[in-house]
Amino acid sequence: MATSSTKGLQDRYELWARRALRQLPFECALPRIQAAPGLRDRRGPVHAGSFLRERRIAFDCTRDEFPRIFVHELFHFVWVRAGNPVRHSWERLLRRELDLQARGELGWSAEWRKQKLQQGDLDFRTRRWREYCCESFCDTAAWLYSKTANHQEFTLARRHRDARRRWFAATIENRRISI
């Protein structure tokens, strides 16, 4: 059972989520929002976590970080429902970036995964590669749609950002996204 302070926080998260949802260039339903103070994964504290089968996102983040974190988490649902042709198209874009030795990313969740990649991960589409692709997709969406103009985690060069923006415009935007 939620305490009154957790309930108040959850109400704020839901309000912020509804506002952020209106900023997206497509329509989708809002997953269930949960306040989860002290949220952690196997590596330590986290801002949020998506529970796709339950259509739920748990949060432990500040108001300033919420829009970026919310959009990132929401796009985990989009990634799962996008289908293989869309995911493979995104992978090709990332492979081109790596061929051009692009450094940086649009969020730490993709950045640390990118740093751990080895050639065999790309060659064999390992889990490490596929997780990087997913996190990069979600971080890119957060950069594009959260209205966060600048952030210390936005380290990818402009030309690669522009290519990602064009990919999202052609592939994701102006659709009804079922999550």
pLDDT of residue 176: 73
DSSP-assigned letter for residue 124: T
In the chain, domain spans = 4-80, 83-171
Q: What is the value of pTM for the model shown?
A: 0.93
pLDDT of residue 179: 76
For the record, the structure tokens of 129 come out as 């590669």
Cβ proximity of 145 and 111 under 8 Å: no
Quick: pLDDT tens for 73-132.
999 999 999 999 999 999 999 999 999 999 999 999 999 999 999 999 999 999 999 999
Cβ proximity of 85 and 144 under 8 Å: no
Closest to 74 measured CA to CA, from 46, 55, 53: 55
pLDDT of residue 4: 67
